[in-house]
Structure 1
Amino acid sequence: MVTRRTVLGAAAGLGIGLGVGTGLGGALPAAAAAAPGGFPDYRFLGVAFDKNALAYNPTGELIFPCIRGTAGRVPNALGRYYLYYAPHDAPGGICLAYGDHLYERFTEYRGNPIVTRNWAPHYTVSHISSPHVMWNDDVNEMWLYFHGENTTTRLARSKNGIDFTYDKVVLSTSMLYPGATEASYARVFRHDLPAVGGRYVMLFMINDTTNRRSIGWGWSRDGRDWTFSQTPLIRPQDVGVQNISGPHLVKRGGSAYVIYHCNKEAGGTLLITEVGNGFTRRDHLGVFHTPLSGAPDNGRCAAPSFGTEGGVEYMFYEAGERLSGAIAVARAV
């Protein structure tokens, strides 16, 4: 049996959750197992929806799920949970699905894509992708971070999680060290860094002229204006692989960790590094989760997003080859 390693009670500020059941078609988890740092494992349940039945899926591949709860946040929401995702290849497009339970199949929003590659007068690009939505308690809004082109990460804002207003560019390669060629796949989390006056942390992928992808990071007081470290937070050579990407911040036992994926040639696994609450540690703990050898993972899992309900933990993730991926769901055991 191949299991999914994940964080019990680790989803930083998600406020989302699940009930008991197996509506996705998988078997109920049976026994717990220890993962690095004492985290539990995960077992695959099913896919969030049938990607081949979607009204909008122009490229046949989907990436970068982000799950968010709507209760107490979005009036008259379509469901208790909103699942954001996107194709990567052109034209991309930020998409939405919704549901009342994370263990059941989600329903595609018929207005997809909710954000496109053309948003006059703000930008026209070949594609947009990698949606990360953060509920911002400061302003009671859903904040959407997404990339397009690969050099640029942007912010849009919404009261209902569907209709977004463009805000600004929040990250570009020009803000990073010389030689940076990509700045994308960003996720933003509410996390205090008193030493630098930060209240939010951004994690993202950097590519550079060496063609090795690292995890970058930055901090902000308001989630709009950012200071970025000119040194990667985690380099692929630090963990013995060629490329790493798709970082997610999780918290457990009074410390902070980053979960991210490595290239398929290095195992296609999710890895975990403890960075501590002040982001001063670099304790590489090894494999957090191993992909299924068969469908839908086919040897690769990536870009996790976490949620809980009733004390049950779930992980949504990108399953399969990068250009043929689906959105899968696993449950802590």
Structure 2
Amino acid sequence: MPEPQSGLDRRMFLRATALSGAALTVGGLATPSASAAPGGFPDYAYVRTLLTPSQLKYNPTGEIIFPTVRGVYDKLARPLGRYYLYYAPHDAPGGICLAYGDSLEGPFTEYPDNPIVANRWDPHYSVSHVSSPHVLWREDLKEFWLYFHGENTTTRLARSKDGIHFTYDKVVLNTSMMPAGTTETSYARVFRHDLPARGAHYVMLFMLNNTTNHRDIGWGWSADGRAWTFAQTPLVRHSDVGAVNVGGPHLLTRGGSAFVVYNKDKESGGDLMITEVGKDFSLRKHLGVFYDSRSSAPENGRAAAPSFGTDHGVPYMIYEAGERLAGSIAVARG
């Protein structure tokens, strides 16, 4: 049947057709397809705010960023909740934090002993801050792999059996691995994605900055998630999409192709954008706005750093809502 064009009618149509849609993969999870959004992905709509800094016990800076959500109910014998939500302040001292809940729509409970990873970890590092947690479930090893930055020049890896207590592993990315003039290699997310021609099973997306101070999306590939090769040119340049800066990238796959969702800075519109890169990352097809940030609270014209998951077959997006370093963590439903 034809798809309605008005907002309310269109959302009702999407709900009604979700059960019959083709499968898509979001962060490694299968979800129903239900919309005519770019790439055929769900048309996400804001539901509620999940975490607000002022309501958190661990709140050193009044700001939190970069959520990552993982279902743990099928991975741990006695989890604190069905879902673990990782996030962090950015400004010093930062600190990798955890909240847990039984629904992706919340509520989420703050873990009482945050931060679970601090800005000093003897003898491995002592830095001004750690932030941008991204957690990958390694089914082959039955481990949670945490990628995080500190300083903004360096992305690190830690590993855990329970998703709470981590063992330090190594530095996986820093500016010395990129062209001269690179100043930041941070905000990384890692995904299971095969690139046979490169002998790779994992892809990393990250924010790349240099002396021009315009942020782009960089990428790399790895056979094991630990030793990486990095492209020396950006995957998505800020100028490709008319932005001053782009960041917060996330990989989605659908219909045999791969897509990167990322945010524009507020000065460039503050929306989430989407670029199709193809199964082998050889394509650069900019598809436009993936999620249009609202001018009202809590977004106030900016949505960023999305993480995706499903709850009983319903697709969700958990993301930064609001001005950079002055926002909250919100959830939208597809």
TM-score, normalised by the number of residues in structure 2: 0.91
Q: How does 1:153-172 map to 2 (within 5 A)?
A: 153-172=155-174
Partner of 1:216: 218
Partner of 1:296: 298
Is 1:191–1:199's contact at 8 Å kept on the other side of the alignment? yes
Is 1:75–1:160's contact at 8 Å kept on the other side of the alignment? no
For residue 84 of structure 1, the aligned residue among 72, 77, 86 is 86
Task: After superposition, give the CA deviation of every residue in 1:62-110 in whole Å (9 maximum; x if it has no partner).
Answer: 1000000112212211011000000011110000000011112100000
For residue 39 of structure 1, the aligned residue among 33, 38, 41 is 41
Distance in 2 between residues matched to 1:250 and 1:262, nearest whole Å: 18
Task: After superposition, give the CA deviation of every residue in 1:191-220 in whole Å (9 maximum; x if it has no partner).
Answer: 000011000000000000111100000000
- Which letter maps to 2:273? L
Q: How does 1:1-333 map to 2 (within 5 A)?
A: 9-14=24-29, 34-332=36-334
CA-based RMSD = 1.9
Is 1:9–1:308's contact at 8 Å kept on the other side of the alignment? no
Partner of 2:18: none
Is 2:27–2:309's contact at 8 Å kept on the other side of the alignment? no
Query: Shift of the alpha carbon at 1:274?
Result: 0.3
Distance in 1 between residues matched to 2:138 and 2:79, nearest whole Å: 17
- Of residues 295-304 and 305-314 in structure 1, the stretch that sits farther from structure 2 once superposed is 305-314
Identical amino acids, percent of aligned pairs? 66
- Which letter maps to 1:146? F
Query: Shift of the alpha carbon at 1:33?
Result: 5.3
Is 2:38–2:287's contact at 8 Å kept on the other side of the alignment? yes
Task: After superposition, give the CA deviation of every residue in 1:15-64 in whole Å (9 maximum; x if it has no partner).
Answer: 7x9xxxxxxxxxxxxxx752112222111110113432211011111100
- Which letter maps to 1:330? A
**Runs of 4 or more off by more than 6 Å in structure 1?**
1-5
Distance in 2 between residues matched to 1:86 and 1:222, nearest whole Å: 26
Is 1:213–1:243's contact at 8 Å kept on the other side of the alignment? yes
Distance in 1 between residues matched to 2:181 and 2:167, nearest whole Å: 32
- How many residues end up aligned between the 2 structures? 316
Distance in 2 between residues matched to 1:42 and 1:12, nearest whole Å: 16
| SS in structure 2 of the partner of residue 127 of structure 1 | coil
Distance in 2 between residues matched to 1:231 and 1:57, nearest whole Å: 37
Distance in 1 between residues matched to 2:226 and 2:156, nearest whole Å: 10
- Which letter maps to 2:46? F
Which structure has more RCO (C-alpha within 8 Å, separation ≥ 6)?
1
Distance in 2 between residues matched to 1:327 and 1:195, nearest whole Å: 38
| SS in structure 2 of the partner of residue 59 of structure 1 | coil
Distance in 2 between residues matched to 1:223 and 1:131, nearest whole Å: 15
